[in-house]
């Protein structure tokens, strides 16, 4: 698998990682998928303290036991669960980040995190305080690098200008091209890598299933028509899944993509994208001519 550096960090990751949110909570199944991914060359695992109330981190921690040195471990912080209440609240304070990282370390069974990411963010946050927390953790060796996971261009611009982030996790796919207008060019110019999530848009672009609902900017009928229009690009053994993942990787700002998988079969289909050629410039232009050049309407 092709390896890429995340921003200006020392983190080298395979271009296709694993988004762990879809693993579920059944231990044997989840750990089996994680081990399969690692055995097939995946080294970037992306989780979050929010997923399944911390259970996801625990499963990832069990799966990497004895393999920690082979893994670039990414997790996230900022969504705070309040005991006795359902749901969670947003807390990007320094005190909470310094506390939450200790719980993530415990669940993951490790003494350091490779990539620690703010799981959201708004302009109303105490941004300098948040940055201080990440910088302190990096200085202490608790984390190797930090980034943000955000869909808000206005927040991304603030962190690009004021922090030492090495990455931005952002949704990017054939049917979600919002980042192309200004986020991806800004990050490429700034030497900050994109980790593209949702390359298959929750299965809307998966080869082995027919969509049963639309996605933002596409009604179901439009989505079905798009899949048909993309068929000429899926010849020569390239599936729609592979095409979609290769499109997310086609932008030079993108270092890796992290499709999720809830079964071994899904994982294998996703990872097969590493074995097909990169899209040519003509193919990228064709995909863009067939799909909607959607744009951010909020948080610009």
Given a contact cutoff of 8 angstroms between Cβ atoms, the answer to whether 75 and 117 are in contact is yes
**pLDDT value, residue 236:** 74
Q: Give the domain ranges of the chain.
A: 3-203+248-279
* Statement: residue 228 has pLDDT above 90: yes
**pLDDT value, residue 144:** 98
Given a contact cutoff of 8 angstroms between Cβ atoms, the answer to whether 151 and 299 are in contact is yes
Residue 51: active-site member: yes
**pLDDT value, residue 208:** 83
CB atoms within 10 A of CB 118: 26
Looking at domain 3-203+248-279, which CATH architecture does it have? Alpha-Beta Barrel (3.20)
User: Strands 79-80 and 72-77, how do they pair?
Assistant: unpaired
Task: Of 124, 114, 153, 135, give the one whose Cα is nearest residue 11.
Answer: 114
CB atoms within 10 A of CB 198: 23
Distance, CA of 293 to CA of 288 (rounded, Å) = 7
Mean pLDDT of 173-202: 96
Query: What's the mean per-residue pLDDT of the chain?
Result: 94
Distance, CA of 237 to CA of 242 (rounded, Å) = 9
Task: Of 108, 107, 130, 106, give the one whose Cα is nearest residue 119.
Answer: 130
Mean pLDDT of 111-115: 97
Distance, CA of 271 to CA of 41 (rounded, Å) = 9
Q: Predicted confidence band at 33 (pLDDT cuts at 50, 70, 90)?
A: very high
Mean pLDDT of 173-194: 96
% of the chain with per-residue pLDDT over 70? 100
Q: Predicted confidence band at 112 (pLDDT cuts at 50, 70, 90)?
A: very high
**pLDDT value, residue 289:** 97
Mean pLDDT of 68-93: 88
Distance, CA of 143 to CA of 114 (rounded, Å) = 6
Q: Predicted confidence band at 235 (pLDDT cuts at 50, 70, 90)?
A: confident
Burial of 32 (0-12, 13-18, 19+ CB in 10 A): middle
Question: Phi, psi (5° rounding) for residue 52?
Answer: 50, 40
Mean pLDDT of 259-275: 95
* Statement: residue 22 has pLDDT above 80: yes
**pLDDT value, residue 214:** 93
Distance, CA of 193 to CA of 86 (rounded, Å) = 34
- Which residues, at least 6 apart from 253, have a Cβ–Cβ distance to it below 8 Å? 184, 185, 187, 188, 192, 193, 194
């Amino acid at each position: 698998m092709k390896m890429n550096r995340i921003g200006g960090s020392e983190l080298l990751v395979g271009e296709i990682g694993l988004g762990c949110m879809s693993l579920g909570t059944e231990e044997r199944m989840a750990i089996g998928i994680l081990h399969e991914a690692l055995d097939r060359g995946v080294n970037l695992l992306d989780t979050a303290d929010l997923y399944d109330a911390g259970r996801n981190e625990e499963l990832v921690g069990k799966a990497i036991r004895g393999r920690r040195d082979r893994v670039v471990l990414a997790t996230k912080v900022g969504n705070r669960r309040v005991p006795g209440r359902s749901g969670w609240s947003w807390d990007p304070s320094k005190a909470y980040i310094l506390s939450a990282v200790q719980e993530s370390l415990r669940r993951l069974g490790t003494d350091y995190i490779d990539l620690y990411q703010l799981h959201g963010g708004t302009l109303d946050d105490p941004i300098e305080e948040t940055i201080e927390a990440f910088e302190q953790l990096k200085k202490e060796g608790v984390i190797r690098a930090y980034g943000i996971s955000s869909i808000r261009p206005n927040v991304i611009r603030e962190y690009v200008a004021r922090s030492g982030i090495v990455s931005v996790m952002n949704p990017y796919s054939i049917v979600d091209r919002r980042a192309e207008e200004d986020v991806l060019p800004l990050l490429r110019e700034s030497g900050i890598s994109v980790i593209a999530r949702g390359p298959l848009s929750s299965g809307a672009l998966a080869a082995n299933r027919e969509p049963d609902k639309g996605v933002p900017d596409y009604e179901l009928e439009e989505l079905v028509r798009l899949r048909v229009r993309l068929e000429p690009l899926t010849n020569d053994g390239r599936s729609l899944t592979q095409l979609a993942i290769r499109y997310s990787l086609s932008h030079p700002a993108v270092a890796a993509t992290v499709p999720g998988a809830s079964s071994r079969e899904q994982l294998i289909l996703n990872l097969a994208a590493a074995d097909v050629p990169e899209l040519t410039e003509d193919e990228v232009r064709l995909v863009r001519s067939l799909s909607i050049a959607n744009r951010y309407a909020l948080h610009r």
